[in-house]
């Protein structure tokens, strides 16, 4: 049983994959946080901290504790605890005081679903236990059900909260975090993944300091700027050593990840929907479900934390038939043609792609309405006969006749002011009457808080998907949300719009992925602007960044790998000079960088010289040989692009009999040192053959002494090694 309740000490022990999370019912009825970290052997330890009374602070009304210093789970504000709260409920008397105390609990096998929201899941009840604790405020009748799932085989705890109004009056929910708790100490570094368009998810590490700190989004989407993730790292924590605690939110809208270090040296951590401009009217009997937070603990450094997230997200967040299937090598026409294509031009690219072994042709933006640039037609999901006179079906059949599958781009959540849809339904976009409608990329955002808008777009997209043999969809989303108001909601519910909108997005994704289970969906938001766990629940892969420059991609893919598995990252080889940063890098280097993700090309193959096509054939053969291993293996980051000129990582098969090592050097250095790369994750008792050649090395030597790294001359060079264990596979 991953979850145990020790009746004597009224303590819950959540044992998940080698880590323990412990909380207790305090004599006051509050839930007290006790421990999260290394596994605890005994139960009912003397874990409950003595009352930590401080001078000049309040004492709880029942005299049991000091509200300002007690370590809590899911706290409230207003009775002497001045740290940020987990939940705020404005009641009909205008106040927001709550005294939620323990009212009961249940432990159930498996993991209940979160209605309408993406979440991790179990495939059998034996995989996890879920603790459901109810706390109740007697005065208002507000009840909060806290859910904690402990996975048997993953060092992960998932948390969420459901707020139920069992009182007689309507209330306004103004904050409903998914998880909040207090750590006894604050000697940690805060790690977050931040950036901008074309430079998503760079690593930032700062020492925690007294006061509030964290990251958030107010953009209506998780966004390019901050990922819904933070980690707290023990001092000196590196890839292999130290404690790493990850906090990841399965949500794609406005989020907040907060840490507050108190004067007493403790740290409160919280994660959830951003309370900024959020409120939810709860009529008597109504409930609100907060999204899921996924907490991972590792005693084996940042690398251990990442591998735990990778295994969990790869196998129990991503769903559907593509979860475990090999992903096709694709060619996307965007950087080859932009909006300027004909069926013949596309077919010309496809012909060359098929000849070198590409498996999927993706037609990007510009195939519908009258879309010859980005100023029109979003919302009019009807093929443009001026561009494709014989229709989509004809083009898709020409492509499939070449032995490739056919994929198509959509941007379902958007509407162009110059579109038939907008002319018919000018109030279907997010807007506030009488106010300007701010455009970004000449487009507005559809109001997906309205079920009829979601249904209309769903019908239109489904009709296209049924009209031709379409095997893949690229689901784009190219702007953030402004004037977040809905024509369908009354004044008192306008602050629900942003969350209702993202629930509508999820509902459409759920509908289309269920209706078309064989289609592979790839997410995109101006590149990696919404690369988050919520999206991965519907779309097993995501376009990592619009920046396809191989050298920039080292940082972007390395940063993304802190939480997300390689199997979720779209990575394409594009032309040089690169279209985003104008850098020229060798084709081999670009291919080696892209081979660590879902591999593809995004350039005009019809314009490529034969020598390049030959190199691409080699790349494709390599990807076909290694993609299953790269998608399912364990990632070990060996050298960080944020630290120097050398970047390296490797992927090891679950049985440790195969591995692939990637190393990249940026600028050439005169008379450089010959670095040795110490490998990780191999079996020290096995011998490994390098690149199918005569060299055989022990796993112990490869990890302790390392591998000589000898780069060719020139800037932007790469080395790839394939390791295969010698000797028979044990029975
Ligand atoms: C932004 C995406 O990130 C690109 O890959 C491309 O699909 C364009 N949108 C098309 O408008």
Q: 200 in ligand 1 pocket by Cβ < 6 Å? A: no
Residues contacting 528, CB < 8 A, separation 6+:
200, 201, 224, 542, 543, 544, 545, 546, 556, 560
Kindly state which CATH superfamily the domain 330-528 is placed in.
Answer: Aldolase class I (3.20.20.70)
Among 137, 447, 546, 634, the one annotated catalytic = 546
User: What is the per-residue pLDDT for 53?
Assistant: 84
- From 197, 224, 331, 364, the mutation candidate for ligand 1 (largest count of ligand atoms within 8 A of CB) is 364
Per-residue pLDDT at 54: 86
CA-nearest residue for atom 1, ligand 1, is: 526
Quote the pLDDT of residue 43: 62
Measured by CA distance, the residue closest to atom 9 of ligand 1 is 526
Instruction: Indicate yes or no: pTM above 0.95.
Output: yes
Q: Is 546 noted as a catalytic residue in this protein?
A: yes
C-alpha torsion sign, points 612, 569, 624, 399: negative
639-726 is classed CATH 3.40.50.720: no
- Consecutive 10-residue runs of the chain (731 residues): their mean pLDDT? 90 94 95 94 62 87 93 97 98 97 98 96 98 98 98 97 98 98 97 98 98 98 98 97 98 98 97 98 98 98 98 98 98 98 97 98 98 98 98 98 98 98 98 98 98 98 98 98 98 98 98 98 98 98 98 98 98 97 98 98 95 98 98 98 97 98 94 90 98 96 95 94 90 72
- CA of 527 from ligand 1 middle (Å) equals 7
Rounded to whole angstroms, how far apart are CA atoms 408 and 581? 26
Residue nearest to ligand 1 atom 11, measured at CA = 365
Asked whether 602 lines ligand 1 (CB < 6 A), one says no
Q: From the alpha carbon of 527, which atom of ligand 1 is closest? A: 3
Say yes or no: CB of residue 527 within 6 Å of ligand 1: yes
How do residues 293-322 score in pLDDT, each as one tens digit?
Answer: 999 999 999 999 999 999 999 999 999 999
Q: Closest ligand 1 atom, CA of 525?
A: 3
Q: Which of 334, 578, 579 maximizes ligand 1 atoms within 8 Å of its Cβ, making it the mutation to test the pocket? A: 334
CATH of domain 3-304: 2.70.98.60
Q: Where are the domains of the chain?
A: 3-304, 330-528, 639-726
Q: Is 409 in the pocket of ligand 1 (CB under 6 A)?
A: yes
pLDDT digits (tens, 9 = 90+) for 698-707: 999 999 999 9
Dist CA 530 CA 225 (whole Å):
10
Instruction: Tell me which of 129, 182, 364, 476 is the catalytic residue.
Output: 476
Q: What is the position in ligand 1's atom list of the atom closest to the CA of 364? A: 7
pLDDT value at position 673?
Answer: 81
Supply the pLDDT for residue 48: 60
Strand runs (DSSP E) across 342-429, as ranges? 360-363, 405-410, 414-415
655 is a catalytic site residue: no
Angstrom distances, CA of residue 6 to CA of 150, 158, 370: 16, 21, 67
Dist. CA 284–CA 261, nearest whole Å: 37
Rounded Cα gap, residues 633 and 54, in angstroms: 50
Whether the CB of 334 sits within 6 Å of ligand 1: yes
Taking CA atoms, 371 is separated from 19, 60, 344, 380, 413, in Å, by 53, 64, 18, 10, 16
Indicate if 639-726 has the same CATH topology as 3-304.
no
Q: Kindly state if the Cβ of 476 falls inside 6 Å of ligand 1.
A: yes
Do the strands 707-708 and 676-677 form a parallel or antiparallel pair, or are they unpaired? antiparallel
pLDDT of residue 118: 98
Q: Please tell me the distance between residue 476's alpha carbon and the centre of ligand 1 in angstroms.
A: 7
């Amino acid at each position: 049983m991953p979850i145990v309740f020790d009746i004597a000490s009224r303590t819950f022990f959540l044992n998940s994959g080698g880590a323990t999370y412990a909380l207790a019912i305090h004599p006051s009825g509050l839930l007290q946080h006790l421990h999260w970290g290394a596994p605890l052997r005994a139960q009912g330890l003397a874990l409950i901290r003595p009352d930590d009374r401080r001078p000049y602070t309040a004492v709880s009304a029942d005299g049991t504790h000091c509200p300002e210093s007690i370590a809590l789970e899911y706290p409230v504000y207003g009775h002497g605890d001045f740290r940020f709260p987990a939940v705020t409920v404005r009641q009909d008397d205008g106040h927001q005081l709550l005294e939620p105390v323990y009212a009961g609990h249940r432990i159930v096998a498996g993991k209940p679903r979160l209605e309408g929201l993406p979440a991790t899941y179990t495939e059998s009840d034996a995989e996890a236990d879920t603790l459901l604790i109810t706390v109740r405020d007697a005065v208002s009748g507000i009840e909060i059900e806290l859910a904690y799932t402990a996975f048997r085989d993953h060092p992960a705890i998932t948390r969420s909260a459901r707020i139920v109004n069992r009182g007689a009056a309507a209330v306004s929910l103004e904050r409903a975090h998914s998880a909040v708790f207090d750590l006894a100490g604050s000697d940690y570094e805060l790690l977050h993944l931040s950036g901008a368009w074309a430079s998503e998810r760079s690593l930032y590490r700062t020492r925690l300091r007294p006061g509030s700190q964290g990251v958030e989004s107010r953009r209506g989407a998780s966004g390019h700027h901050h990922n819904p993730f933070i980690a707290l790292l023990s001092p000196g924590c590196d890839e292999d050593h130290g404690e790493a605690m990850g906090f990841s939110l399965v949500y794609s809208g406005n989020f907040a990840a907060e840490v507050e270090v108190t004067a007493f040296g403790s740290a409160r951590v919280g994660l959830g929907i951003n309370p900024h401009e959020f409120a939810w009217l709860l009529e008597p009997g109504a409930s609100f479900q907060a999204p899921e937070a996924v907490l991972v603990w590792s005693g084996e450094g940042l690398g251990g934390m990442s591998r735990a997230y990778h295994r969990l997200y790869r196998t129990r967040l991503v769903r559907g038939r593509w979860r475990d299937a090999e992903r096709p090598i694709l060619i996307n026409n965007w950087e080859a043609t932009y909006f300027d294509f004909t069926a013949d031009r596309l077919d010309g690219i496809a012909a060359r792609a098929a000849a070198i072994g590409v498996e999927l042709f993706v037609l990007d933006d510009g195939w519908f309405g009258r879309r010859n640039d980005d100023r029109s037609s979003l919302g009019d999901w009807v093929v443009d006969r001026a561009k494709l006179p014989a229709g989509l079906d004809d083009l898709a059949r020409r492509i499939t006749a070449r032995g490739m599958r056919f994929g198509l781009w959509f941007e379902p959540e958007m509407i162009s002011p110059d579109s038939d849809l907008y002319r018919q339904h000018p109030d279907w976009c997010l807007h506030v009457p009488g106010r300007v409608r701010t455009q970004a990329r000449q487009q507005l955002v559809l109001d997906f808080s309205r079920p009829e808008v979601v249904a209309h777009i769903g019908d239109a997209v489904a009709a296209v998907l049924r009209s031709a043999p379409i095997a893949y969809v690229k689901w784009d989303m190219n702007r953030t949300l402004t004037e977040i108001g809905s024509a369908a909601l009354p004044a008192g519910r306008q602050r629900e719009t942003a969350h209702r909108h993202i629930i509508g997005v999820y509902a459409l994704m759920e509908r289309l992925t269920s209706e078309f289970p064989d289609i592979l969906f790839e997410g995109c938001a101006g590149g990696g602007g919404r690369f988050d766990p919520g999206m991965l629940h519907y779309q097993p892969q995501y376009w990592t960044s619009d920046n396809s420059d191989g050298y920039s991609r080292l940082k972007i893919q390395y940063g993304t790998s802190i939480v997300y598995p390689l199997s979720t990252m779209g990575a394409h080889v594009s032309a040089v000079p690169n279209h985003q940063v104008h850098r020229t890098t060798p084709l081999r280097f670009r291919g080696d960088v892209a081979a660590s993700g879902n591999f593809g090309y995004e350039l005009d193959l019809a314009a490529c010289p034969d020598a390049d096509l030959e190199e691409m054939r080699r790349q494709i053969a390599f990807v076909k040989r290694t993609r299953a291993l790269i998608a399912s293996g364990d990632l070990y980051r060996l050298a960080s692009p944020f630290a120097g000129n050398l970047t390296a990582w490797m992927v090891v098969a679950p049985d440790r009999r195969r591995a692939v090592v990637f190393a990249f050097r940026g600028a050439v250095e005169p008379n450089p040192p010959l670095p040795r790369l110490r490998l990780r994750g191999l079996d020290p008792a096995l011998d490994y053959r390098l690149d199918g050649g005569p060299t055989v090395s022990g796993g112990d030597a490869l990890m302790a002494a390392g591998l000589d790294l000898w780069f060719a001359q020139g800037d932007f060079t790469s080395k790839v090694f394939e390791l295969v264990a010698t000797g028979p596979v044990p029975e």
